[in-house]
Amino acid sequence: MNHLISTSILNADFSNLQKAIEMVNISSADWFHLDIMDGVFVPNISFGPRVVEQINKHATKLLDVHLMIVEPDKYIERFKEAGASYLTVHYEACTHLHRTIQTIKSLGMKAGVALNPHTPVSLLEEIIRDIDMVLIMTVNPGFGGQAFIQHSYDKITRLKLMIRERESPALIEVDGGVDLSNARLLINSGADILVVGSFIFRSTDPLDTITKLKNA
């Protein structure tokens, strides 16, 4: 498959969020990436299901929702109601990960599992066949605009090998420090989906930047 671009709305101008959503709608991006942060699992607070609902009213592309929260099981149904198509939880936040994944899928969503930079991909070996997407964090989660962690390329390659060996349907998504300098390297390493926020919304021409990322 050709790689996908998931545009991180967290980096948009929230004083004119509808304009940002409409820009992504007409762009060559594939998904909206929505980071949900609780100030506990990560040292920042973003927004919750109510804002996701409002974004969903205007978005014409699927919502890729990333829960950076403790006790994500309490909110799975709520984010389904808000419009999530993909719902990603953190390995580090789930005591019973298999059950969490099955709950997400039972509600008709695709289930993703995110790994922080320090978490090895080998921990997913027993569950990789049940996962629709693995999100590799290439920065420490919580804030946009951080520098890309260089050892992430090897981590993505190891994950891709595991997916192939175990015949898993899982896609690999990469989030953190992604721009045109590393997009092709990430794809060559095995990434299927690039999450990009700061690089798009801080550019002088976001539409053109998305097109260049899509064609990387």
Question: pLDDT tens for residues 103-137?
Answer: 999 999 999 999 999 999 999 999 999 999 999 99
User: Does 35 qualify as catalytic in the annotation?
Assistant: yes
Q: State residue 144's pLDDT score.
A: 61
Residues 4-214, CATH architecture? Alpha-Beta Barrel (3.20)
Instruction: Say if CB 136 and CB 175 are below 8 A apart.
Output: yes
Whole-number Å distance between alpha carbons of 157 and 210: 25
Q: Which two tokens stand for residue 9?
A: 């709305």
Q: State residue 141's pLDDT score.
A: 82
**What are the extents of the domains in the chain?**
4-214
**DSSP-assigned letter for residue 148:** P
Average pLDDT over residues 153-182: 97
Of the residues 30, 35, 38, 64, only one is catalytic, namely: 35
Q: Which two tokens stand for residue 47?
A: 């927004």
Whole-number Å distance between alpha carbons of 55 and 69: 20
Instruction: Say if CB 7 and CB 200 are below 8 A apart.
Output: yes
pLDDT at 143 over 80: no
Of the residues 30, 38, 64, 175, only one is catalytic, namely: 175
Whole-number Å distance between alpha carbons of 216 and 214: 6
Contacts of 111 (CB under 8 A, 6+ apart): 86, 87, 88, 89, 100, 101, 104, 105, 130, 131, 132, 133
In this prediction the pTM is: 0.96
pLDDT at 199 over 80: yes
pLDDT at 146 over 80: no
Whole-number Å distance between alpha carbons of 61 and 211: 16
Instruction: Say if CB 171 and CB 193 are below 8 A apart.
Output: yes
User: Does 13 qualify as catalytic in the annotation?
Assistant: no
